[in-house]
Amino acid sequence: MVSLTQPQHNKPNEDQTHSLEDSAVKSPSSSVTLKNALDRWQIQLNASLELRDVLNCFFNGVNKIVRCAGLTYTNKAKATTVELGGEKIHSAKYALKAQGYSLGDIVFTRAKHFSDEELRQLEESLALLFYPLRNALLYKEALDNSLKDALTGLANRAAFELSIKRELGMAKRHNLPLSMIVIDIDHFKAVNDNCGHHAGDCLLSHVGKVLKNMLRETDQVFRVGGEEFVILLANANLAAGSKVAERARKAIAKSNIRVAEHLIGVTVSMGVSTFCADDDRDALFKRADAALYRAKNAGRNKVNTEWDLAQKPRDLSATQT
């Protein structure tokens, strides 16, 4: 059963509030218009599990009953907002709930005041949206979880593969710079061996948090496996990528964590590459990874770029890990 909070519909210099708390939405009206809408929506609203597709289908259908200029859906718990159409001065807001479970809020807007009959029709139409919307939210949650690293909360390797494909496509189409930073925690095996695997997990989470907190909103950070992370920097050339990497390296080196009786310091080594016109995913990653291992071989806690690969490396007896 769908419980709806009656909307606030605003006129200039006038606020009106109607409360329908604890009331239930009845089945859609038997009017010809709503019956036809129900027949169409029964198939269309359930045809997709993509949230935007479901809301767009609903918005198009409800416009055949009550003309609206815009629809905004927000779900704070899911950190999700979908905006369709355009925002206008008059609005009708509904909170969708069922048995204490919130599906979020929907706001309809238009330039003309909503009549009481139109508000009733909007309420009845929203009853059709409940199950398709719930299914879309569950699907989105499952998809988000499949692209998230459970330990650090960062995006995982699967998310990285999707993102690098998208970012390379954008860089090629629009001739935009794109840089990649590959990061590896120094002496991570020693932390696991000396302090325990729980300490190692805490260290991974700590490094992930430091990286996430110091990046721009447009930057993307991934844990791609073990103690290795990748950062994608859109609209950043090699010089800019190197500066970001150095700032991150310093932030991590200045930090430490305490796990039980162990105070654990941490450093990382980084390799940076930048997009070239004929690059694919493997070529871009290979250069960054090679620069990373040059930084390892140079003594760790360093940032190397693909430019450094052309220089003769120091003669060390063994590869550092």
Q: Residue 305: exposed, middle, or buried by beta-carbon count in 10 A (0-12, 13-18, 19+)?
A: buried
**For residue range 89-109, what is the model confidence (pLDDT) as tens digits?**
999 999 998 777 789 999 999
Could you tell me which residues come within 8 angstroms of residue 173 by beta carbon, excluding any fewer than 6 positions away?
Answer: none
Read off the pLDDT of each residue in 294-316 and give the average, rounded to a whole number.
83
Bigger pLDDT: 267 or 10? Answer: 267
- Catalytic machinery residues: 227
**H or E element that contains 315:** none
The DSSP call for residue 78 is G
Pick from 32, 25, 41, 31: which is nearest to 133 by CA? 41
Q: Is the pLDDT of residue 318 over 70?
A: no
The pLDDT score that the predictor gives to residue 43 is 83
Residue 199 and residue 262 in contact, taking contact as beta carbons nearer than 8 Å: yes
Provide the pLDDT for residue 259: 93
Q: What is the pLDDT of residue 242?
A: 97
Reduced to 3 DSSP states, what percent helix, strand and coil does the chain have, rounded to the nearest 5? 45, 25, 30
Query: Does the domain spanning 3-145 belong to CATH 3.30.450?
Result: yes
pLDDT band at 175 (very low <50, low <70, confident <90, very high): very high
101-134 pLDDT, tens digit per residue, is 789 999 999 999 999 999 999 998 898 888 999 9
Q: For 185-230, write each residue's pLDDT tens digit.
A: 999 999 999 999 999 999 999 999 999 999 988 899 999 999 999 9
Averaged over 74-80, what is the pLDDT?
Answer: 90
Q: Give me the pLDDT at residue 186, please.
A: 97
Is the pLDDT at 11 greater than 70? The verdict is no
With a pLDDT cut of 90, the percent of the chain lying above it is 69
Give me the percent of the chain exceeding a pLDDT of 70. 85
Q: What is the pLDDT of residues 26-68, one digit of tens each?
A: 444 445 665 665 776 778 898 999 999 999 999 998 998 899 9
pLDDT at position 79 = 86
Looking at domain 157-310, its CATH class is: alpha beta
- What is the model's pLDDT at position 77? 87
Give pTM, 2 decimals.
Answer: 0.69
Q: How is the beta sheet containing 3-4 ordered, strand by strand?
A: 3-4, 90-98, 101-110, 70-75, 80-85
Would the pLDDT of 232 be above 70?
yes
In contact, 108 and 71? CB cutoff 8 Å: yes
Distance CA 120, CA 114 (A): 10
Say what the pLDDT of residue 33 is: 60
Q: Where in the chain is the domain with CATH 3.30.450?
A: 3-145
d(CA 228, CA 311): 25
Q: With a cut of 80, say whether residue 145 has pLDDT above it.
A: yes
Residues of each domain in the chain carrying CATH 3.30.70.270: 157-310
Per-residue model confidence (pLDDT) at position 4:
38
Residue of higher predicted confidence among 317 and 48: 48
